[in-house]
Copies of this chain bind each other. A is one copy, B any other.
Amino acid sequence: MKMFKSDNTSGVHPIILDAIIKANEGYAHAYGEDETTEKAEKMIRELLGCDADVFFVTTGTAANVIGLSGLLRSYEGIVAADTAHINVDECGAMEKYAGNKIIHVRDNEGKISLDDIVPQLEVMGDEHSVQPKVISISQTTEMGTLYTVEEIKALADFAHKNDMLLHVDGARIANAVEALGTTLKEMITDTGVDLLSFGGTKNGMMMGEAIVSLNKQFGKGYLFHRKQGMQLVSKMRYISAQFIAYMENDLWIENARNSNQMGKYLAQRISEQEGVSLFAPVDTNMVFAYMDKGLIDYLLKDFKFYVTDPSAGQVRFVTSFDITKEDVNEFVDHIIKYNNM
- List residues of A whose CB falls within 8 A of some B CB: 1-3, 5-6, 8-12, 14, 17, 20-21, 23-31, 57-62, 65-66, 69, 73-75, 77, 88-93, 95-97, 99-101, 127-131, 201-202, 206-207, 221, 223-235, 238, 304, 320
Contacts and interface: CB of A to CB of B under 8 A. Distances in A.
A68 to B, nearest CB: 12
A91 B127 contact: yes
A210 to B, nearest CB: 14
Contact of A20 (B20, B30, B61, B73): B20
Nearest to A58: B58
A92 B228 contact: yes
Given A88-B128, A92-B99, A97-B99, 19 more contacts: A3-B27, A6-B234, A9-B30, A11-B23, A11-B25, A29-B304, A58-B58, A58-B207, A58-B231, A58-B233, A73-B221, A75-B91, A75-B224, A90-B227, A91-B227, A96-B228, A97-B228, A97-B230, A202-B234
Contacts of A62: 230-231
A192 B225 CA distance: 29
B230 A93 contact: yes
Contact of A66 (B100, B127, B225, B230): B230
B224 A207 contact: no
A61 B230 contact: yes
